[in-house]
Amino acid sequence: MRKTSSLALGMVCMLLLGGCARSITSTPGDAPNLEKWTADVRARPAEPLPPLPVMQQFETFEYSAQGLRDPFSDAWVSDDGNNQLRPDPNRRKEPLEAFPLDSLDMVGTIGNGAAAVALVMGPDKVTYRVRPGVYMGQSDGRVTGVREDGIELIELVPDGAGGWLERPASLALDDR
């Protein structure tokens, strides 16, 4: 029985392989059909190409800064480089100098005129008393004046050339 089944299996494999061999080999009658099909495809007109996108026209701009200062020259830097403005490294830091100026809120004033004292709330939710001469903010800001609606300061900021510049700043009364 085993011999018969292996013989039958062998015959089936031979028939399958014989059918594949016949489909692989081409007959002389197939070549004219292939040539005709190729000629038909080549004779068809090509599909038109899509049109090119329209290029956007840009407005021209002429930069004319001949009369302005050259930002890359060193002409604006002072020759001596010593303008006597410097933060005092030996000065004891005050509590409000630990916070950026924009994180502080002025919440009110006590008194009026030259004796006015401003009330400033820090991010730590503590209210501090501020009068002229007190330092606040992280740029060595010295309070120069206290008004009912705000505080005036002078900050020391680096000028980029090794020196320091004074810059005015203010803190307005918070209306909340």
Over the chain (176 residues), the average pLDDT of each successive run of 10 is 80 76 56 87 90 89 79 60 76 92 92 86 93 92 91 90 89 80
Rounded Cα distance, 127 and 119, in Å: 6
DSSP 161: S
H or E stretch including 30?
A: helix 30-43
Position 81 scores a pLDDT of 52
In the chain, the amino acid numbered 35 is E
Q: Is the pTM of this model over 0.75?
A: no
Give all domains of the chain, ordered by start, each with its CATH number.
95-172 (2.30.30.830)
The residue written with tokens 């502080």 in the block is 104
In the chain, the amino acid numbered 102 is D
Position 175 scores a pLDDT of 72
The residue written with tokens 């099909």 in the block is 37
Which of 133, 176, 169 lies closest to 154, judged by CA? Answer: 169
Position 14 scores a pLDDT of 81
